C-alpha cells in the first residue's frame, strides 16, 4: 500500500472531485454553486456547512496557483461580504445563513511552507488549509482531505470532549458535553472520531452513536438494533434541545451499547474510579456478619412486647 | 479510549491521543437526603410505602433517586411502572455506571432496579460493595432525596445500607411478630451505631389510634433495653386502594390521591420534610459527603 500526495496536477480534476462530493473536503459540506466570479475574484466553490455558514473554497492545482491563493482568499472574503445581499437573492433556499460570516477552505495537493506561513499571518480570516492525499487499496484509489494548518483546522483538532465551535448556544453546548461524557463513561474502550461537527463513537469496532452538531442544537444518531447490529432501517435520531431529549438519547445509546456487548460477547473495560479513594485491600464484613448473626432477642425483650394494658395489635395477649 | 480526527469518509489520518475525562467530585453539587426504608420482616408493605413516598416527593417537586436495595429479589420497579431494561446486576458486573442504570419512572423518581433471581446479588463481598459505593456520587448529585428500599429482615447487606442513610424508616404492622422483628432490626442498628436515627411507620392499621399503641409499645421497649428514642411518622390504614394500585402498577398517591391511604402517606411525607428541614438548618454548609461516601466509610468500619 502506498501513501502520498495525490497526483492531481489539474485543478479541473480536483474541481470535479470536490464538486461531485464536497463532503470529501469536510463532512456535511453542501454545494451551493461552483465557479462563481464576483468581479475579478473567483470562488471555485461556494458551500454551506452543517452550521449553515457560507464556506468559500479555493482550489490550487499547481504550485503557481498555490502562490496566488492567499490573495484570492483575501479578495474573496471581501467580495463575498460586499455581495452577500446579491448572493442571497440569487441562491435562495440553499441552506446558507447569509448573515453569518464566511470562512474559507484552501485545497491543494501539497501546500508549501511559505503559503502556510502567509496564512498564519492572516489572523483576521478563518481559513482551513487542506491537502488532498490518497492511498490505493486493492487497486482502488481512496483519498481524503487532511487539514494541515490554519487556525480553524487547529481548533478542529481539539479533544473531542469539547463541544464543536459550530454549536453556539451555550445551553446546547452544556448538553452536548454532558451527553458525550455520559456515553464515554460507559466503557473506556470506546473509540471516538471527531471533526468540526461530528463525533462518531464506536464500541468494539461497531458503530455506537454519532453526535451531529448544528448551530442551536444537536442530534444524537443511534443505529437500530433489531436482532442484528447492522440494520437496513434508518437510524434512530434524537434532536436534543433539552434535558429530556438528552436523557432519551443517552438511553438509546445505552441500549445499543448493551446489545453490542451481548451480541459480540464482549467484556466491558474496567472503569476507573472517578473519585480518589484509598486502596481498600483489607476490607472485611466479618465484624458485621458476627453482629448480625448473633443478634437475638432475649426472653425479656420478647416478653416486654407482651406487657402493657390491652393489645395494640393482633396476635398479642 | 482511543480518539482520532475524522477526515472525510471516516479515514483516520492518524491523530491519536488519550482522552482524559474531567472526573472527580463537584464540591458545590447538591447532595440528597437519604431515606432508607426497612422492615424486620417481609410483607409489611415496605416497598409499596417506599415507592409511594418517592412518588409523592416527586409530585411535590423534588428530584428523587430510588435505589432498590433488595438486590436479588427486586420488585420496586414494577410498582413504579418501569420495565427493567437495566438493573443493578449490570452495574455490579462493571458494564454500566450506576447513574446510567437508572431508569425514569413515569411517576417521577429515577430508579435503579435490583436484579431478580440472581442469588449472588443477595450477598455481595466487601469490595463489591465498595465499587457500588463509588458509583453513587455521579447519580446522587443534584438529587433532593435518595430513597432506598431495603430487603426485609436483618442481613449484612441491609444493615450496611441502613447505617449509611440519613434517616431509617422502619415499617411495621400491628402484629406481634412484625413488632418484634422491627425491634430486632433497630437493636442491631443501634448496636452498630447508637446515633442512627430511626423512625417508625405503622402500616395496615385497622382502627383509629392503633398506630399510636403500636408505636408506644415499640418506643417503650427501645427505651428500656436500648436507651433509644424513636421518631414517629404515623400510621397508614389498611386500604383496598393498595392492592388495586399494585395491580395497576400505579402508585396510589397518583391513582387515588384522595384515598385514606394516600392522605396518610402525605402526612408521613410532611413529617419527613419537617425532619429534613430541621437538620438542614443545623448542617447548613456542611453537607459534603454523599451516600456513597458514607457507605464506604461504614464499610471500612465493618471489619
DSSP A183-211: HHTT-TT-EEEE-SSEEEEEETTEEEEEE
**Candidate from A126-130, A269-273, B249-253, B298-302 with smallest mean pLDDT:** A269-273
In a domain, B20, yes or no: no
| Shortest Cα distance, chain B CAs vs residue A159, angstroms | 7
Per mean pLDDT, which range of A54-58, A197-201, A311-315, B232-236 is the poorest?
A: A311-315
Is the model more confident about B119 or about B241?
B241
Model pLDDT, residue B117: 64
Grid cell 437526603 in the structure block, residue = B33
Is B13 in the A-facing interface, judged by CB distances under 8 Å? yes
Distance from CA of A122 to the nearest CA of B (A): 24
Which of A117-131, A264-278, B92-106, B272-286 holds the top average pLDDT?
A: B92-106
For residue A282, name the pLDDT band (cuts at 50, 70, 90). Answer: low
d(CA A260, nearest CA chain B) in Å: 12
How sure is the predictor about A196, in pLDDT bands with cuts at 50, 70 and 90? low
- Quote the pLDDT of residue A287: 78
Q: Could you say which DSSP state residue B126 is in?
A: H
pLDDT on residue A307: 77
Does residue A150 or residue B91 have the better pLDDT? B91
What pLDDT band is residue B101 in, cutting at 50, 70 and 90? very high
Q: State which of A118-132, B121-135, B260-274 shows the largest mean pLDDT.
A: B260-274
Q: Which three cell numbers stand for residue A154?
A: 487547529
CB contact under 8 A, A194 and B216: no
The answer as to whether B18 is a domain residue is no
pLDDT tens digits, one per residue of A239-252? 999 998 999 999 99
CB atoms under 10 Å from CB of A89, counted, come to 9
Is residue A122 within 8 A of residue A73, CB to CB? The reply is: yes
DSSP letter at A122 equals -
Q: What is the pLDDT of residue A284?
A: 74
Residues 6+ apart with CB under 8 A from B78: B249
Q: Is the pLDDT of residue A315 over 50?
A: no
Domain positions in chain A: 3-155, 170-263
Per-residue model confidence (pLDDT) at position A246: 93
Select the CATH number that applies to the domain covering A3-155 from these four: 3.50.50.60, 3.40.1350.10, 3.90.650.10, 3.40.1010.20: 3.40.1350.10
Domain membership flag for residue B23 = no
Q: What is the mean pLDDT of the segment spanning A147-171?
A: 67
More confident residue, A268 or A152: A268
C-alpha span between A156 and A213 (Å, rounded): 13
Q: Which residue has the higher pLDDT, A97 or B282?
A: A97
Considering only residues B276 and B283, tell me which one the structure prediction assigns the higher pLDDT: B276
Give the model's pLDDT for residue B217. Answer: 95
DSSP A266: P
Contact A51, A197 (CB under 8 A): yes
Contact state of B130 with A277 under an 8 Å Cβ cutoff? yes
- Three-state DSSP state, A34: strand
What CA dihedral angle connects B41, B42, B44 and B48, to 10 degrees? 140
Residue A166 clears pLDDT 90, i.e. is over it: no
Mean pLDDT over each residue of chain B, to the nearest integer: 85
Does B8 sit within 8 Å of A25, measured CB to CB? yes
Cell numbers 397518583 correspond to B254
Q: Provide the domain count of chain B.
A: 1
Determine the average pLDDT of the residues in B148-153. Answer: 93
For residue B170, give its domain range.
Answer: 34-300
A36 to chain B, closest Cα gap in Å? 24
Cα distance between residue A210 and residue A194, in whole Å: 10
pLDDT at B132 over 50: yes
pLDDT of residue A162 exceeding 50, the answer is yes
Q: How confident is the model at residue A309 (pLDDT cuts 50, 70, 90)?
A: very low
Which set of grid coordinates corresponds to residue B42? 417481609
> What pLDDT does residue B93 have?
81
Contacts of B134 in chain A (CB under 8 A): 273-275, 277
| Band (B287; pLDDT cuts 50, 70, 90) | low
Residue B5 has pLDDT above 60, yes or no: no
Write down the CATH number for the domain with range A170-263.
3.90.1150
Q: In the structure grid, which three cell numbers stand for residue B39, read together?
A: 422492615
The predicted pLDDT at position B18 comes to 24
In angstroms, what CA-CA distances link B41 with A156, B70, B149, B152, B155?
Answer: 60, 13, 13, 5, 11
For residue B250, give every residue at least 6 positions away whose Cβ sits within 8 Å of its Cβ, in sequence order, or none: B81, B107
* Contact residues, chain A, for B6 at CB < 8 Å: 27, 193-195, 198, 200
Who among B6, B99, B214 is closest to A195 (CB)? B6
Of residues A208, A126, A121, A107, the one with CA closest to residue A165: A126
**Same topology between domain A3-155 and domain A170-263:** no
Helix ranges (DSSP H) in chain B: 46-59, 76-79, 88-92, 98-101, 126-140, 156-163, 176-192, 210-226, 241-248, 252-255, 260-283, 291-300
Over 70: is that where the pLDDT of A7 sits? no
Q: Residue B191 pLDDT more than 70?
A: yes
Q: Is A264 left (phi over 0), alpha (psi -120 to 50) or beta?
A: alpha
CA B106 to chain centre: 18
Cβ count near A255 (within 10 Å):
15
Record: contact A273-B191, CB cut-off 8 A: no
- Give the C-alpha separation, A289 to A262, whole Å: 36
- What's residue A26's pLDDT? 84
pLDDT of A275: 34
The model's confidence at residue A267, banded by pLDDT at 50, 70 and 90, is low
User: Which residues in B273-295 are b (16+ Cβ under 10 Å) and which e?
Assistant: eebbeeeeeeeeeeeeebbbbbb
CB pair distance less than 8 Å for B1 and A192: yes
User: Mean pLDDT throughout B245-255?
Assistant: 94
Q: Hey, what's the cell of A103?
A: 470562512
Closest to B253 in 3D by CA, of B244, B241, B243, B262: B262
Do residues A27 and A210 make contact, with C-beta atoms less than 8 angstroms apart?
Answer: no
**Domain CATH number, residue B169:** 3.40.50.300
Sort strands A191-194 and B2-5 into parallel, antiparallel or unpaired.
parallel
Question: What pLDDT is recorded for position A175?
Answer: 93
- How close does chain B come to A295, measured CA to CA in Å? 7
Against a cut of 0.80, is the pTM above it?
no
Decide which of A252 and A165 is more confident. Answer: A252
- pLDDT confidence band for A208 (50 / 70 / 90): very high
Higher pLDDT, B290 or B120: B290
Q: Is B177 on the interface with A (CB under 8 A)?
A: yes
Average pLDDT over residues B224-237: 96
Amino acid at each position: 500500500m502506498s501513501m502520498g500526495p495525490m497526483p492531481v496536477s489539474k485543478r479541473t480534476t480536483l474541481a470535479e472531485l470536490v464538486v461531485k462530493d464536497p463532503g470529501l473536503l469536510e463532512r456535511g459540506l453542501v454545494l451551493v454553486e461552483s465557479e462563481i466570479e464576483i468581479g475579478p475574484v473567483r470562488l471555485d466553490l461556494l458551500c454551506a456547512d452543517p452550521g449553515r455558514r457560507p464556506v468559500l473554497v479555493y482550489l490550487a492545482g499547481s504550485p503557481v496557483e498555490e502562490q496566488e491563493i492567499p490573495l484570492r482568499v483575501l479578495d474573496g472574503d471581501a467580495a463575498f461580504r460586499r455581495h452577500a445581499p446579491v448572493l442571497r437573492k440569487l441562491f435562495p433556499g440553499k441552506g446558507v445563513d447569509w448573515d453569518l460570516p464566511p470562512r474559507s477552505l484552501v485545497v491543494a495537493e501539497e501546500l508549501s511552507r511559505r503559503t502556510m506561513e502567509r496564512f498564519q499571518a492572516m489572523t483576521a480570516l478563518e481559513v482551513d488549509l487542506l491537502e488532498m492525499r490518497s492511498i490505493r487499496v486493492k487497486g482502488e484509489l481512496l483519498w481524503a482531505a487532511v487539514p494541515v494548518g490554519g487556525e480553524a483546522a487547529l481548533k478542529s483538532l481539539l479533544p473531542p470532549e469539547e463541544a464543536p465551535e459550530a454549536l453556539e448556544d451555550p445551553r446546547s453546548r452544556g448538553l452536548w458535553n454532558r451527553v458525550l461524557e455520559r456515553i464515554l463513561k460507559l466503557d473506556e474502550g470506546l473509540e471516538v472520531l471527531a471533526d468540526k461537527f461530528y463525533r462518531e463513537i464506536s464500541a468494539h469496532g461497531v458503530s455506537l452513536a454519532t453526535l451531529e452538531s448544528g448551530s442551536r442544537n444537536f442530534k444524537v444518531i443511534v443505529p437500530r438494533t433489531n436482532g442484528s447490529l447492522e440494520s437496513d432501517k434508518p437510524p434512530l435520531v434524537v434532536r436534543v434541545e433539552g434535558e429530556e431529549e438528552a436523557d432519551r438519547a443517552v438511553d438509546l445509546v445505552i441500549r445499543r451499547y448493551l446489545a453490542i456487548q451481548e451480541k459480540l460477547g464482549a467484556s466491558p473495560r474496567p472503569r476507573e474510579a472517578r473519585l480518589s479513594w484509598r486502596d481498600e485491600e483489607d476490607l472485611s464484613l466479618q465484624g458485621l456478619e458476627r453482629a448480625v448473626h448473633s443478634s437475638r432477642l432475649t426472653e425479656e425483650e420478647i416478653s416486654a412486647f407482651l406487657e402493657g394494658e390491652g393489645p395494640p395489635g393482633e396476635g398479642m395477649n | 479510549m482511543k480518539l482520532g480526527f475524522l477526515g472525510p469518509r471516516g479515514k483516520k489520518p492518524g491523530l491519536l491521543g488519550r482522552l482524559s475525562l474531567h472526573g472527580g467530585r463537584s464540591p458545590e453539587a447538591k447532595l440528597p437526603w437519604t431515606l432508607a426504608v426497612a422492615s424486620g420482616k417481609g410483607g409489611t408493605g415496605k416497598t409499596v410505602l417506599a415507592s409511594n413516598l418517592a412518588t409523592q416527593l416527586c409530585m411535590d417537586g423534588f428530584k428523587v433517586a430510588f435505589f432498590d436495595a433488595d438486590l436479588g429479589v427486586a420488585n420496586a420497579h414494577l410498582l413504579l411502572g418501569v420495565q427493567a431494561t437495566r438493573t443493578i446486576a449490570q452495574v455490579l458486573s462493571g458494564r454500566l455506571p450506576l447513574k446510567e442504570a437508572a431508569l425514569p419512572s413515569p411517576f417521577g423518581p429515577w430508579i435503579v432496579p435490583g436484579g431478580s433471581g440472581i442469588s449472588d446479588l443477595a450477598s455481595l463481598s466487601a469490595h463489591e460493595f465498595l465499587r457500588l459505593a463509588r458509583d453513587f456520587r455521579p447519580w446522587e448529585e443534584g438529587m433532593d432525596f435518595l430513597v432506598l428500599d431495603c430487603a426485609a429482615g436483618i442481613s449484612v447487606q441491609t444493615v450496611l445500607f441502613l447505617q449509611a442513610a440519613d434517616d431509617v424508616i422502619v415499617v411495621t404492622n400491628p402484629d406481634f411478630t412484625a413488632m418484634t422483628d422491627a425491634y430486632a432490626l433497630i437493636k442491631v442498628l443501634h448496636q452498630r451505631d447508637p446515633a442512627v436515627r430511626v423512625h417508625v411507620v405503622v402500616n395496615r392499621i385497622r382502627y383509629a389510634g392503633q398506630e399510636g399503641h403500636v408505636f408506644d409499645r415499640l418506643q417503650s421497649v427501645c427505651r428500656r433495653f436500648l436507651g433509644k428514642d424513636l421518631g414517629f411518622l404515623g400510621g397508614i390504614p389498611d386500604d383496598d386502594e393498595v392492592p388495586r394500585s399494585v395491580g395497576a402498577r400505579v402508585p396510589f398517591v397518583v391513582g387515588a390521591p384522595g384515598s385514606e391511604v394516600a392522605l396518610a402517606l402525605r402526612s408521613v411525607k410532611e413529617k419527613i420534610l419537617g425532619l429534613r428541614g430541621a437538620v438542614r438548618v443545623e448542617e447548613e454548609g456542611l453537607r459534603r459527603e454523599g451516600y456513597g461516601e458514607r457507605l464506604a466509610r461504614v464499610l471500612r468500619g465493618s471489619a
